[in-house]
Each structure stands twice: as structure tokens, then as C-alpha cells.
Homo-oligomer: A and B are copies of this chain.
Amino acid sequence: MKMLCQSSEELNELVMEAKACTKHGKVADYIPALAKSNQHDLSVAIHYPDGRCVSAGNVGKKFTLQSVSKVISLALVLMDWGPEYVFEHVGMEPTGDPFNSIIKLETIAPSKPLNPMINAGALVVTHMIKGKTIEERFQRLLAFVRELANENTIHYCEDVASSEFETAYLNRSLCYFLKQHNAINEDIEQLMDLYTKQCAIEMNCLDLARIGVVFAMDGVDLFTGKQVIPVDIARICKTFMVTCGMYNASGEFAIKIGIPAKSGVSGGIMGAVPGRYGIGIFGPALDEKGNSIAGIKLLELLSKNYKLSMF
């Protein structure tokens, strides 16, 4: 097996090649904060299990996690409650419907989101984060993110959180539908507050690669040797990243690239190559499925060049 990029130069070449396709993508424009992103940005970091990290692009650029956060909240909730309880409330099956679809909540009885990577499922997951108050629950999640990234300055972007809070009508619709069916039983405005803060947690691609490598290495923190996430839970999260991490392009991504990965509408992608590396990417120009267009291209180049597919 050819070793993965040994140098930033090598990685930089791939970034240059992938960057060519940013012009075919579009930044998310549903909130001003995201619309201001530079369409041509592309940064990447690859974190090795031995602590080394190779990166390219403007790696200091911060972005909000958005849907990437769904994997992290899932890990926390699985640690809070255990898989049995959690999967009574959210399913394990991929879906052919869009990530924000409400249809299956009506057609499947009892009403239960198909998986934790679609919005309905992620909202049920966030609903399960333990804590007495919204503030306490968010601080627990944030502390977990900081621990995973080994970076105590990580915070959330208030502008993005409040913009999304103002306009999250579809998520409120999903929440109330779930509340009608007793799948959520807290105040929806409070839950939206927590959920939009979760989505607005902000970091750069170095931090994200660092989190990715924890998932890749079965939940172990490389520096401390501490098991930050139990093995089984890290494995469950990687499985969801494969079966439903890349919206409605998850199947194609698994076939063409074969890396457990989760993307967000801000243009972030977290990859976790089992037993090998963590990858953090930021490229805000999205393809029509909502995934970073240059990020996907870059992962395809990496997977082909270094044989990263699990399959």
C-alpha cells in the first residue's frame, strides 16, 4: 500500500487539482453568514495516528459544523444512554428520501426517524443530550467536541446560530410532527436553540481532522491514550457515516470513495479511514446534493491515489 501524502507539497497538488471544480459549485445561501463564504476556498488536513498532520490550503479558516455535528451528538447520546435506548428512538436504516424529508414520519408507524443523519433523526438525537438546562446540555456537547479536537478554544458562532434559529421553519415542522407522535417531548423553541447552537459549532479543518482520527482509531485519543469514545460507539458512528453520511449521495460516495465521512452544508467534511487517518476538509462550494464539490473531488483523488476505500 502506497503511504498517504508524506508532504504538504504532495497534498497541495491534489488540492490544486480538486479546486478546479469549485466553479461548478455554489455556496449555501439560505443564511447570510454562509452566503458570505468564498466559493473558491479549499483547505484540508490529514491527521495520522502518530500525531503527525499534513495540510494544505488556508487551514486556519473557520467554518461551522452544520450536519457534521450530527455524528458527534450521536456519539455523545450513545454514551449518555447506550445504543439500545437510543435506537428505540431513532432507526438505523439509510433512506432514499432527502435529508430534510418529512414524508416517512407520516407513512411509517410508529413515527420514528429512519436514521440519525437525516434532520428528523438528528433532532431526536439532540433531544436526548442529557442535562438539566439547554445551557448545560450545550456545554456538555461543546466540552465533548473540545475533548475530541483537543482544542479548548472551540466555540459556536452566535451569528450563524441566531440566523438559523430565526429561519429553521422546516426543522420546527419536523420537531412538532415528532412531538405529536411523542418522539420528542420538550419545548420546541428550546430544542431549536440547542440544535442551532450545535450546528453552529465552529472550527478549522485541522480540528476536524483531529476529531476524525479519534473515530478512525476506534475512539482512542492518540496523545493521552484515553478511550474518549467507547470502541462500539465509534464503530456505530463510522457505519452511519458510510451508509448515510453524505446525504443522498452516500451510496455513490461509498462506491467511488469508500471512506466513512460526514458532510455539512457549510462545506465541511470529516473523514475517518478506519485504523488509519482522520481527514478534515473545508470547501464551501456545494454540489447539487449539498456536499462540498471540491471536497468530494479531493477525497476521490486521495482514495484512488492511496487506496483508501474500505471495500
Give the interface of A toward B (CB within 8 A). Answer: 91-97, 101-104, 106-107, 114-115, 169-170, 172-177, 179-180, 188, 235-236, 238-240, 242-244, 248-252, 254-255, 258, 260, 274, 309-311
Contacts and interface: CB of A to CB of B under 8 A. Distances in A.
B310 A274 contact: yes
Contacts of A93: 94, 96, 248-252
A97 B107 CA distance: 10
Given A243-B243, A309-B235, A252 B92 contact: yes
A94 B91 contact: no
B169 A180 contact: yes
Contacts of A173: 102, 172-177, 180
27 contacts: A91-B251, A92-B251, A92-B255, A93-B249, A94-B95, A94-B244, A94-B251, A96-B97, A102-B173, A103-B107, A107-B107, A169-B179, A169-B180, A170-B180, A173-B177, A235-B255, A235-B258, A238-B311, A239-B251, A239-B311, A242-B242, A242-B243, A242-B254, A242-B311, A243-B243, A274-B311, A310-B311
Nearest to A177: B173
Contacts of A169: 176-177, 179-180
